[in-house]
Structure 1
């Protein structure tokens, strides 16, 4: 059975569905430009909440990702935030991870069907979002008022002291570290990008806490990696008929608008806010996907759940997803407005002083 064609029965492209997908794409792009993630932890669950099969949501998301990532990378390169060398080095190992991840997803789909694939995607989301989101949120909350983390020797600083050939220097990131420490981060980023359409919320924290990049450079450089992974992964997924171009076009249209605003936001807000937004959205989305798990367990015959209960949990999952989207958009846009207002007031005061 062609899963991509079968997806036509799952999604109703009514006016409301198109508007919802466009908004999801816009906020996904906003988040992508702001924190460097491809926004998949918003987009994939958003599509699945409408009934799109996990594999189709992953493949269609990846298809829209690489042009959006290219736009964001160019925008932030002009701001001097992208480390091209680091991005290309990590893209190599990420590319290997992508191919492995696609193979794993296909094995799950063939053995347990669409319900098994949906369960795998949802459980993976919950596990990774709680783990990474919780750590990032904690780090943001324990930073001092200036947005800088509390003093101490970080894991990245310890790794940078290990002289393991070949050592590589990344000028924009201001980091000198062994190439071997970049490989696990790249592999994990690529594998997750291919299997559950995520990558940025592993790649960005990985570059911050393992390699030692600043939040701004890590989030910008991740866009380069996302472009390379997205291009290669899309070709592979499309060859297996998993890409639903309708979904891709709709979310891409919204994303291209959002990513521009998100990239601008990184130049006028504190770095700790980027981490706060990233961690908060991850934890909210984790709750949303967690509520969908019993439905897939019931479909596989692994849990006896009342249909009424499943319906309620489905609706709750969708509403929480909407809450996550709204929360992220309001925080990012609100912070940008406050920062611009403060900058304008400062410029006005300087003008008065000069007069």
Structure 2
């Protein structure tokens, strides 16, 4: 049980670090006129021209990877575009309100809407890459980056992303159903573990919690992750595992954190490459930026300081998501660009609304909603898995039974996400006056 709790804490810490990055990217994009103009120019052809000529244009394309008749639609309609905004909005609300990455629900949501798993993964990666680029490489916290650490890590990340993309494409070429089953299975295990830990954390937090001081995205005295709006003390120290790894002298050694601790720290490059390969592999298979894994791996396993981890995390997301999205999916036609742009727009709005709502909603309520949201994604993929396994001949159920189970999972998922979204937006609307007063008071005091 202690191992389960520790692993859950590490995953939640990573999810919260990734959510913090998403919020910072959103603030930078919406706070810069030039970036807003770029976003508008990217969206303009979709909004104005898509309905008029998209079908005719794509109909002329051959039935190749990414073509209209291949795998999943690469064309767009107004319905598809606005639905993608809804998916991004839901993910953004979770990220902003709960302070933990909402990207976990994007691929399941797209797959539930009928998008092939491999295209949902590629589209999600492109959406993350576009957000990272628009947030810009010149992020203020890149001053914390350790270039040797980042470059060594990226060697492994690029390799891992290549393997992950190859696995997904190979499985798809063998059998599209096998590809969907593989991606679905990965999400079942990932969301199941994170969801049940979140539920356990929520139930235990209702009993008692020792919280002493605070920062957003920190960890309570009892080790449980704290929701936005709550404050806790955060004490940074190396784990026994990280101390052990840093004591192993296998050349070449990479030096880092010179400005954090006297003399800095060092670790064998081989451990960095292995960590990068794992993150890149997960990013390419699941369609995530890898940030939710980089933070816990760096801090808890490799012993890198939080400040250096933040800079390296931002750096690697741009290159890992960019390489995986473009190099492993885009050139093969596995990206639904319209969905990606719609999700980007929706997530930018959702993150802002969600982060404001945390000022008027109890942290325990937010934790409860996060647990339910993640578990709904788990149920969605778990209920979809039997029909895919049956199609592959691995289990013996009728097609009708598999279809019913899949539909149950879809309805449960979208009902929960819709209820959550309506609740957050409704809370925001009802408390607009209160939030304005609070903002004005804060600005006056400042």
- Flag whether TM exceeds 0.5 (same fold): yes
So what's the TM-score if we normalise by structure 1? 0.74
So what's the TM-score if we normalise by structure 2? 0.61
Post-superposition shift, 1:204? 4.1
Are the equivalent residues in 2 in contact too, given 1:292–1:313 (CA < 8 A)?
Answer: yes
Equivalent residue number for residue 321 of structure 2: 230
Instruction: Write the distance in 1 (CA, Å) between the matches of 2:117 and 2:80.
Output: 17
Equivalent residue number for residue 257 of structure 1: 349
Post-superposition shift, 1:65? 1.4
Tell me: CA distance 1:238–1:225, structure 2 relative to 1, closer, same or farther (3 Å). same
Are 2:165 and 1:84 equivalent residues in the alignment? Answer: no
Instruction: Write the distance in 1 (CA, Å) between the matches of 2:422 and 2:287.
Output: 24
Instruction: Write the distance in 2 (CA, Å) between the matches of 1:223 and 1:131.
Output: 25
SS in structure 1 at match of 2:256 = strand
Question: C-alpha offsets along residues 296-319 of structure 1, whole Å, 9 cap, x if unaligned?
Answer: 122223333334333332322222
Instruction: Write the distance in 2 (CA, Å) between the matches of 1:350 and 1:61.
Output: 37
Once the two structures are superposed, the pairs formed by residues 138-177 of structure 1 within 5 Å of their partners are 138=200, 141=204, 144-146=210-212, 148-150=219-221, 156-162=238-244, 163-165=247-249, 166=253, 168-170=255-257, 176=265
Post-superposition shift, 1:194? 0.8
Tell me: CA distance 1:301–1:161, structure 2 relative to 1, closer, same or farther (3 Å). closer
Are 2:162 and 1:119 equivalent residues in the alignment? Answer: no
Are the equivalent residues in 1 in contact too, given 2:72–2:119 (CA < 8 A)?
Answer: no
Q: Select which of 270, 293, 296 maps to 1:202.
A: 293
Instruction: Write the distance in 2 (CA, Å) between the matches of 1:2 and 1:304.
Output: 33
Tell me: CA distance 1:183–1:246, structure 2 relative to 1, closer, same or farther (3 Å). same
> 99-108 vs 154-163, which deviates more?
154-163
Post-superposition shift, 1:269? 10
Equivalent residue number for residue 82 of structure 2: 19
In structure 1, list runs of 5 or more residues that go unmatched: none
Question: C-alpha offsets along residues 183-222 of structure 1, whole Å, 9 cap, x if unaligned?
Answer: 4443222111111213344334434543467989867864
SS in structure 1 at match of 2:239 = helix
Tell me: CA distance 1:230–1:274, structure 2 relative to 1, closer, same or farther (3 Å). farther
Tell me: CA distance 1:275–1:190, structure 2 relative to 1, closer, same or farther (3 Å). farther
Instruction: Write the distance in 1 (CA, Å) between the matches of 2:258 and 2:360.
Output: 23
Instruction: Write the distance in 2 (CA, Å) between the matches of 1:325 and 1:64.
Output: 20
Which protein shows a greater Rg? 2
Are the equivalent residues in 2 in contact too, given 1:288–1:320 (CA < 8 A)?
Answer: yes
Post-superposition shift, 1:67? 1.6
Post-superposition shift, 1:321? 2.5
Once the two structures are superposed, the pairs formed by residues 1-355 of structure 1 within 5 Å of their partners are 2-5=64-67, 6-7=69-70, 15-31=78-94, 35=99, 37=101, 39-71=102-134, 77-78=139-140, 83-85=144-146, 90-111=153-174, 113-135=175-197, 138=200, 141=204, 144-146=210-212, 148-150=219-221, 156-162=238-244, 163-165=247-249, 166=253, 168-170=255-257, 176=265, 178=267, 181-198=271-288, 199-207=290-298, 209-211=300-302, 222-236=313-327, 237-259=329-351, 281-326=373-418, 329=421
SS in structure 2 at match of 1:292 = helix
Number of aligned residues:
348
Tell me: CA distance 1:328–1:156, structure 2 relative to 1, closer, same or farther (3 Å). farther
Instruction: Write the distance in 1 (CA, Å) between the matches of 2:192 and 2:356.
Output: 28
Question: C-alpha offsets along residues 66-97 of structure 1, whole Å, 9 cap, x if unaligned?
Answer: 1213445779x45x598433666544422221
Tell me: CA distance 1:243–1:350, structure 2 relative to 1, closer, same or farther (3 Å). closer
Tell me: CA distance 1:290–1:151, structure 2 relative to 1, closer, same or farther (3 Å). closer
Are the equivalent residues in 2 in contact too, given 1:36–1:222 (CA < 8 A)?
Answer: no
Tell me: CA distance 1:309–1:151, structure 2 relative to 1, closer, same or farther (3 Å). closer
The structure, 1 or 2, with the larger RCO (C-alpha pairs under 8 Å, 6+ apart) is: 1
SS in structure 2 at match of 1:243 = coil
